Structure 1
Amino acid sequence: MNAFARLISYCRPYWWRIALAALGSLAVGGMDGALAYLVEPVLKRIFSGKDMQIFVFLPLGIMVLYAVRGGCRFMNDYFLRTAGQLAVQDVRNAIYRKNIRLSMGFFNQHPTGSLMSRILNDVGMMQEGMGNVITGLFRDGISAASLLGLIFYRNWELAIISFTVIPLSVFPAQKIGRRIKNLARQGQGKMGDISSILQETFSGIKVIKAFGLESREIERFEETNLELYSFSRRNIKYEAISTPLMESITSIGIAVVIWVGGRSVMKGAMSAPEFFSFITAMLLVYTPVKRLVASYNTLQRAMGAAERVFEVIDQVPQIADAPDAHELGRSKGEVEFRGVSFRYEEENVLNRVSLTANRGEVLALVGPSGGGKTTLVSLISRFYDPTEGAILIDGHDIRQLTLKSLMAQVALVDQETILFNDTIANNIRYGKTDASEEEVQRAAQAAFAHDFISQLPEGYETNIGDRGVRLSGGQRQRICIARAILKDAPILILDEATSALDTESEQMVQAALNNLMANRTTFVIAHRLSTITHADRILVLEKGEIVETGNHDALIARGGTYSRLHALQFGEQPAAE
């Protein structure tokens, strides 16, 4: 009920559509009652009054009645369904907004395919449910109410007899509805698993084909798809049984009414036209009641999906602006770590790290894999908050800064070149959305990307495809560097920016990085030690702690971890400690 109330709250902005639909519903429901009511006088005039003139007007009247009824039904369906669609569109926007603003830790815990499934499949099921349910509640509810009034008006005793069976159907309807809701929720979870498999396989299709594992992935997909079918099969079973069950229960009421009403007609207590009018209304009222039961089942499916959607909408971001957070103008680029520790679940990733990066200084982070290098630089952008200690920029604790002003201080060039299915200009402009064409070109020139961009068919307006697949690795990386140059942030993070490039591309990218690093405080993560020999300081991280610090020559002379790593890469004998 909480999920249903929340869904209804999304309909409030579209109340005027619902009001127009309600008018149409009143007209449709009233006409259903009028049609059943007119059965008695028409039959009386035909059989008792021998009025043959009515046959001239009856067909015309029926056509006019159904034309008006059809127009009202269209108004009801159109405005109710569009209100439902708009409401669910707002829900989809809300869950997307929340997803985008959640912290990195949330995305580490939830597969991409599952999140996509909630926005697409779950919201789609809500969309279908809202359209059907709102339409059913108005149109079928009003139609049932008008016919029910006529039944009691005609003969309240028979009406009570015919509807004593309805309470009998409430319990099984509720029980079936709960089963449908649970199965829908579990089925949507399994649909999320399928979405995850699709996302993984299509993204990693090159690896799958390179290792010849198509059959294995097909088997994995088919197993998950079969599990989805098991939920769908049980869902279908419960939905299929609800209508026959309702019909069986209501048939008891119909049978008793026919027996009691027929005896009343034979005894003269009730006229045949009155009895036929009552039977017509009773049969008509059972139709919207059955549709309401079907709508209830649809509602339960929609609620199962809605609960999964609202789980995400209700997520509280782990990283958010403090109540007293303040803006930070362009910083000097001075970064300080004070006793910073970070723990991921039960694993200690960083242990009381302290360091200071001065304005314009280049700090290189090296060390064995898993030493905490990427985690350390991720804390600067508040992708995560430290478990202990504090990080300061120009003396300000970054937790006391607004996220927007903090992100304005940092530019990131990652080993994974994230580009969007858009033009080259817009990908570069991602660092500064209001940049002019001249600014975009200057950034590209500084990144040594202008020449190859100019040779493309449409230049800067060339669409680079999904993830920039139409460009080489070195070209993609230089586009990312141009994006960072255009952003012009005082703090720069380079995370393995040249690790996946060949020698020629690496030289071009390294030249572009040198332009990018000028006059910026730079944190460089590198496994290729040849790329960081120029660093002002090199920090060696091992098991979450800084075990060595100094420039290249000093660390080589020391003969410690850095010296051993350097010797491994260049085939040298490490210096003795």
Structure 2
Amino acid sequence: MKNQHLSKLKSLMGNYVYLYYLAIFVSIISSVISLGAYLNVYYVIENLLSTNGILTNSVIEKMKYYGWQAVIYVSLAFMFYGLALLLSHIVAFNTVARYRISLIDHMKELPLGYYQKRQTGKLRKLIEKNTDEVEHYIAHQLPDMAQALTTPIAFLVLIFLFDWKLSLICLIPVILGFLLLRFMMGDESKSFLDQYQEASANMGNDVVEYIRGISVVKIFGQTAFSFKSFNKAIENYRDFTISYALSMKNAMSGYIVCVYGIFAFLIPATIILFNNFGNSKKILLSYIFFVIFTPLVAFMLMRIMESSYKAMIIFNAMDNLDTKIYDAQSLPKPLISQKPSYFDIKFKDVSFTYEGMKEKALHQLSFECQTDSVTAIVGPSGSGKSTIFNLITRFYDVGSGTVMIGDVDVRDMAYEDLMSNISYVFQETKLFKTSLLENIRFYRPEATRDEVEQVIDQAQCREIINKMPNGLDTVFGTSGSYLSGGEIQRITIARAMLKDAPIILLDEATAFSDAENEYKIQQALSSMIKNKTVIMIAHRLSTITHADQILVMKEGELVEKGQHKSLITQNGVYANMYNDYQQSINWKLGVKK
């Protein structure tokens, strides 16, 4: 075991570490007691052979006594082992709960940029699978390992006291087996586990993607293997597992032969002892003794191999969680959080480049958005619109320049203070599988039901709530509670309205709405944005004609700025975009304009 991994597990156990030690101790007791059962079986056979074919009452009574002793020892061994498992499971469940809470607490500190660069399916599988491995290891492998190590040691002491010659012979395959085990658990296995984890995560993520796109697959009559990435992920997983199994076949076969081949060493050794020593009855009894105990040792040696392999898996799992989650750094925190006295937003010579990208997402960008005004940001895909939002909310830190809220740099605000001043309505909305009431007051759990009812009317959600089976108490996602994209957007707007933050960021709030929902969303937004600093990313240019300011982005630079009418008269980038937009909404299938 690696000391640092075991130390970390013990720290995660907290006060349950004492139960962990108790579970190991009880498991050791179970292992020692189990040897008593085998010893009594040997005594039964010894008494049977000593009768010379004549069973007297005293012999029968002795055999009964030893038989009942064996039953008692077996029962006690099972009872203690069951108690060890009960204790280890209690420790495992509590340890994994603390582990997952620790991971989630750390992930809450990470900027959202961390999640934008990673697939959610991989992150979920990373946490779920690796912590499950930890749970299984503590619950089963630790008590099993204690038993597996104790039994051969106790057996060695016992057999050396019984017959040291046969004991030395039995040690030969055991030593060879452990040398092969050491080889199997080397650096090659560690490298394989890393590749296996990655291949398994990729396959799991592609399965999720395939299921999400199943409607498209069915419409076009395709199969799962028409998804090239899915096909490749399955092939990679297959190749890794097959290649590893083939690389281990010789060592594994040798280990099994050594462990179960103790009999092959015992038989010729017994024959030699028969030929060289006179007391054949004693030699026969010695052979029987070893025949009785050897299967138990062989079984325990196989459990040592299994536990060693599981230990390698669990340590690899913990390394994965360390490198992919714990080693991820949160953004620097200010020593003292500054609070703005007003809520204008100002960019001063801001430049930013995403990690791994050569070209800048934003270049020397400067603009200002005043309180009680609406600023719209337009531009083609990749022009930097979403990056502006990412920097305002500090999903990332600027490369150079400054992003200000009022008179404070966003980097000088605690993240909780920063986000308490911002309501963000995403383009891809998210409702949780809980009641609509809890969804709406997600930002303000302390909000009263009356306050929620008020924002429902302001957000044009009343008819949505009225059609739900249990009104506000309906759990989203259950039967009869499914909503359209536009209806979900209105619920999220109600959630943002209840938060009542001074800054509102709207990422194309009407993107997936039909005409009716778009009209109601516009009405909801009209009541929401009063006396706020509002910035919106817009693709439907008809929604921003009354904006106080329009910023036109292209390739990370601000190329035009002004109101709708003035930008149209300039016949520049915005005018061309608006003309193209007008043509697109007037276009009809099969009709030439």
TM-score by length of 1: 0.89
Bigger shift: residues 55-64 or 403-412: 55-64
Give the 3-state SS of the residue equivalent to 1:432 in structure 2. coil
Alpha-carbon offset, residue 144 of structure 1: 2.1
1:373 is aligned to 385
How many residues get paired? 570
Aligned pairs (5 A) from 1:433-444: 433-444=445-456
Distance, in Å, in 1 between the alignment partners of 2:583 and 2:566 is 19
Letter in 2 for 1:388: S
Distance, in Å, in 2 between the alignment partners of 1:171 and 1:430 is 58
Cα contact 2:41–2:70 (8 A) shared by 1: no
Distance, in Å, in 2 between the alignment partners of 1:432 and 1:228 is 45
Distance, in Å, in 1 between the alignment partners of 2:264 and 2:578 is 93
Bigger shift: residues 69-78 or 180-189: 180-189
Alpha-carbon offset, residue 407 of structure 1: 0.5
1:575 is aligned to none
Bigger shift: residues 292-301 or 48-57: 48-57
Alpha-carbon offset, residue 391 of structure 1: 1.0
2:17 is aligned to 15
Letter in 2 for 1:19: Y
User: Does 1:542 find its partner at 2:551?
Assistant: no
Give the 3-state SS of the residue equivalent to 2:145 in structure 1. helix
Alpha-carbon offset, residue 95 of structure 1: 3.5
Distance, in Å, in 1 between the alignment partners of 2:537 and 2:508 is 5
Alpha-carbon offset, residue 341 of structure 1: 0.7
Distance, in Å, in 2 between the alignment partners of 1:130 and 1:387 is 45
Bigger shift: residues 228-237 or 56-65: 228-237
2:110 is aligned to 102
How far does the alpha carbon of each residue in 1:478-517 deviate from its partner, in whole angstroms, 9 at most, with x for none? 1111011001110011111123322222111111101110
Distance, in Å, in 1 between the alignment partners of 2:462 and 2:259 is 77
User: Does 1:287 find its partner at 2:299?
Assistant: yes
2:174 is aligned to 166
Distance, in Å, in 2 between the alignment partners of 1:469 and 1:214 is 32
After superposition, the Cα gap between the structure-2 partners of 1:159 and 1:500, relative to the gap in structure 1 and judged at 3 Å, is same
After superposition, the Cα gap between the structure-2 partners of 1:492 and 1:252, relative to the gap in structure 1 and judged at 3 Å, is closer
Cα contact 2:47–2:63 (8 A) shared by 1: no
2:320 is aligned to 308
2:204 is aligned to 195
Distance, in Å, in 2 between the alignment partners of 1:520 and 1:204 is 39
Letter in 2 for 1:267: G
Alpha-carbon offset, residue 571 of structure 1: 5.3
After superposition, the Cα gap between the structure-2 partners of 1:566 and 1:220, relative to the gap in structure 1 and judged at 3 Å, is closer
Distance, in Å, in 2 between the alignment partners of 1:229 and 1:223 is 10
Cα contact 1:377–1:493 (8 A) shared by 2: yes
2:507 is aligned to 495
Distance, in Å, in 1 between the alignment partners of 2:280 and 2:232 is 66
After superposition, the Cα gap between the structure-2 partners of 1:255 and 1:448, relative to the gap in structure 1 and judged at 3 Å, is closer
1:400 is aligned to 412
Give the 3-state SS of the residue equivalent to 1:332 in structure 2. coil
Letter in 1 for 2:211: F
1:230 is aligned to 239
Cα contact 1:340–1:350 (8 A) shared by 2: yes
2:541 is aligned to 529
Distance, in Å, in 1 between the alignment partners of 2:49 and 2:258 is 34
Give the 3-state SS of the residue equivalent to 2:320 in structure 1. helix
Distance, in Å, in 2 between the alignment partners of 1:440 and 1:59 is 74
Alpha-carbon offset, residue 205 of structure 1: 3.8
After superposition, the Cα gap between the structure-2 partners of 1:263 and 1:114, relative to the gap in structure 1 and judged at 3 Å, is same
2:143 is aligned to 135
User: Does 1:155 find its partner at 2:163?
Assistant: yes
Cα contact 2:91–2:138 (8 A) shared by 1: no
| 1:32 pairs with one of 13, 31, 34 | 34
2:472 is aligned to 460
Give 5+ residue unaligned stretches, structure 1.
573-577
Alpha-carbon offset, residue 334 of structure 1: 1.8
Distance, in Å, in 2 between the alignment partners of 1:267 and 1:230 is 59
Cα contact 1:325–1:399 (8 A) shared by 2: no
TM-score by length of 2: 0.87
Letter in 1 for 2:129: N
Cα contact 1:177–1:296 (8 A) shared by 2: yes
Alpha-carbon offset, residue 364 of structure 1: 1.5
Alpha-carbon offset, residue 162 of structure 1: 2.4
Alpha-carbon offset, residue 284 of structure 1: 3.3
Letter in 2 for 1:437: R
Cα contact 1:492–1:522 (8 A) shared by 2: yes
Bigger shift: residues 450-459 or 403-412: 450-459
Give 5+ residue unaligned stretches, structure 2.
585-593
Alpha-carbon offset, residue 75 of structure 1: 1.2
User: Does 1:559 find its partner at 2:567?
Assistant: no
After superposition, the Cα gap between the structure-2 partners of 1:328 and 1:45, relative to the gap in structure 1 and judged at 3 Å, is same
After superposition, the Cα gap between the structure-2 partners of 1:274 and 1:197, relative to the gap in structure 1 and judged at 3 Å, is closer
Aligned pairs (5 A) from 1:235-250: 235-236=244-245, 244-250=253-259
Distance, in Å, in 1 between the alignment partners of 2:280 and 2:221 is 84
Alpha-carbon offset, residue 260 of structure 1: 4.4
Give the 3-state SS of the residue equivalent to 1:378 in structure 2. helix
Q: Which has the higher contact order (CA 8 A, sep 6+)?
A: 1
1:445 is aligned to 457
How far does the alpha carbon of each residue in 1:332-360 deviate from its partner, in whole angstroms, 9 at most, with x for none? 31222111111122121111111222222
Give the 3-state SS of the residue equivalent to 1:231 in structure 2. helix
After superposition, the Cα gap between the structure-2 partners of 1:137 and 1:560, relative to the gap in structure 1 and judged at 3 Å, is same
Alpha-carbon offset, residue 74 of structure 1: 1.0
Alpha-carbon offset, residue 405 of structure 1: 0.7
How far does the alpha carbon of each residue in 1:506-547 deviate from its partner, in whole angstroms, 9 at most, with x for none? 111111101110110011211222212222222222221222
Distance, in Å, in 1 between the alignment partners of 2:364 and 2:475 is 46
Identity of aligned residues (%): 26
Cα contact 1:490–1:520 (8 A) shared by 2: yes
Distance, in Å, in 1 between the alignment partners of 2:46 and 2:392 is 87
2:120 is aligned to 112
Distance, in Å, in 2 between the alignment partners of 1:303 and 1:514 is 55
Alpha-carbon offset, residue 278 of structure 1: 5.2
Cα contact 1:25–1:72 (8 A) shared by 2: yes
Q: CA RMSD in A?
A: 3.1
Bigger shift: residues 364-373 or 50-59: 50-59
1:70 is aligned to 78
Bigger shift: residues 137-146 or 176-185: 176-185
